[in-house]
């Protein structure tokens, strides 16, 4: 009897697993009653439970009662035209003419980022893409898969725990070239929670104009960051209205966080053209190229989440209700930042913690080291990303003192923390 043939896959090397999902799995397996999940970016109530928005629940009820016989039908490859027009206007408002923008529906923000990266890789053919250091880990993976070399611009200064605007500008001034892509977080930078101010955004826009750097905005938290969708879209709208020369740019948009549609994958990708790229023929060509990419990957996007988003955005009453809920969510995040900061200060925890309240959005770059994070996980059952990034949404009035006391214990007794 002959030996078993060698498998084609026997020598396959497993890539690193996604840390956020590994943390989530470990948290769910943990039976410690006071365990705390500060890894996953999912909004929770003060009781630590998921919070479907009331406006979403009302829309779901109406959809169920309507029982539209077409609710399971295929849609066009490019997506639902009504949803896309509403999503476009939610992002851009009146910052630029609608005939400059070509939009397609995507599988949430991750899908929009990937469709966009592949589209630019195949059409613009950039020398490289500039990503902030640090950035959302999936940005790197997505651009690697489309074969575009990655460069990094400074963003976070670990000494000051602040946005490194000077380092960013100096690096791009010295090293960026025409038609390089730069990925920018529209608001609530992930993972640092640090955003440029409006004057800094203006300087970044002027640099992109002068050096002909191509902006790619990731718009994942509009309305969720500050509670004001217009404020959170300021940078995108400012770039879109720039003239002499007008900027061409793209935007990846998600409704996962701001509508709580995490698992329903409602997103869009927008291409903003200028000059002769605004003609009907040019827009049709952009749409055809995007549709071909989508067809080759997943054919069409899910419709349930986009139906909810379309219904909310298409009603002034529901939109007003949604905006009230956005303010409630963002206010709770801000209050949890303040509570964590206040408790660390009250305890006299070594180090400066003011950066926690200076940051914005769901995440905070705490400055905790990997050995500290590992020790917090093993001894206190507090699950934090190895970078020290915490999801503020995982804090509540019942666990914030426990988290602060654990951080205080770690910082006050560094000799107890094993080195990595």
Does the annotation mark 316 as catalytic? Answer: no
CA atoms of 59 and 54, how far apart (whole Å): 9
Which residue among 257, 307, 310, 322 is the active-site one? Answer: 257
Which residue among 80, 130, 136, 307 is the active-site one? Answer: 136
Distances, alpha carbon 325 to alpha carbons 61, 234, 333, in Å: 18, 20, 13
Where does 57-155 show beta strands of DSSP type E?
A: 101-107, 129-133, 150-154
Pair 56, 259: CB distance under 8 Å: yes
Which residue among 80, 164, 218, 307 is the active-site one? Answer: 218
Quote the Cα angle for 251-58-324, to 5°: 60
Residue with tokens 């943990």: 30
Dihedral of CA atoms 398, 402, 407, 410 in degrees, nearest 10, equals: -170
Does the annotation mark 379 as catalytic? Answer: no
Question: Coil, helix or strand for 182?
Answer: strand
> For strand 101-107 and strand 266-272, is the pairing parallel, antiparallel, or unpaired?
antiparallel
Task: Count other Cβ atoms within 10 Å, centred on residue 38.
Answer: 25
DSSP 44: B
Question: Coil, helix or strand for 106?
Answer: strand
Does the annotation mark 201 as catalytic? Answer: no
Distances, alpha carbon 249 to alpha carbons 94, 105, 205, in Å: 16, 17, 11
Q: Which residues are catalytic?
A: 136, 218, 257
């Amino acid at each position: 009897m002959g030996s078993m043939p060698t498998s084609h896959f026997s020598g396959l090397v497993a890539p690193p697993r996604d840390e956020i999902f590994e943390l989530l799995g470990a948290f769910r397996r943990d039976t410690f009653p006071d365990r705390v999940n500060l890894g996953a970016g999912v909004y929770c109530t003060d009781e630590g439970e998921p919070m479907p928005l009331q406006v979403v629940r009302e829309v779901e009820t109406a959809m169920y009662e309507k029982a539209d016989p077409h609710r399971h039908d295929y849609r066009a490859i490019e997506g639902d035209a009504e949803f896309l027009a509403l999503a476009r206007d939610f992002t851009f408002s009146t910052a630029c003419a609608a005939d400059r923008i070509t939009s397609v529906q995507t599988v949430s923000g991750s899908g929009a980022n990937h469709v966009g990266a592949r589209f630019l890789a195949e059409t613009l053919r950039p020398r490289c893409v500039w990503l902030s250091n640090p950035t959302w880990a999936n940005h790197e993976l997505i651009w690697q898969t489309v074969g575009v070399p990655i460069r990094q611009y400074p963003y976070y200064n670990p000494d000051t725990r602040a946005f490194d605007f000077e380092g960013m500008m100096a690096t791009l001034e010295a090293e960026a070239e025409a038609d390089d892509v730069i990925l920018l977080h529209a608001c609530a930078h992930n993972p640092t929670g640090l955003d440029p101010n409006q004057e800094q955004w203006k300087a970044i826009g002027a640099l992109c104009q002068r050096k002909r750097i191509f902006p790619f905005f990731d718009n994942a938290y509009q309305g969720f960051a500050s509670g004001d969708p217009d404020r959170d879209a300021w940078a995108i709208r400012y770039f879109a209205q720039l003239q002499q020369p007008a900027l061409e740019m793209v935007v990846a948009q998600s409704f996962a966080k701001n509508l709580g549609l995490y698992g329903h994958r409602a997103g869009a990708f927008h291409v903003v053209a200028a000059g002769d790229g605004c003609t009907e023929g040019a827009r049709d060509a952009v749409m055809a190229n995007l549709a071909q990419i989508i067809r080759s990957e997943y054919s069409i996007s899910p419709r349930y989440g986009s139906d909810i988003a379309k219904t909310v955005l298409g009603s002034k009453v529901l939109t007003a209700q949604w905006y009230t809920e956005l303010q409630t969510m963002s206010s709770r995040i801000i209050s949890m930042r303040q509570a964590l900061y206040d408790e660390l200060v009250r305890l006299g925890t070594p180090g400066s913690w003011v950066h926690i309240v200076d940051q914005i959005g769901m995440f905070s770059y705490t400055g905790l080291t990997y050995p500290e994070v590992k020790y917090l996980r093993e001894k206190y059952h507090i699950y934090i990303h190895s970078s020290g990034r915490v999801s503020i949404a995982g804090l509540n009035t019942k666990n914030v003192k426990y988290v602060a006391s654990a951080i205080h214990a770690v910082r006050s007794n560094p000799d107890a923390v094993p080195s990595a």
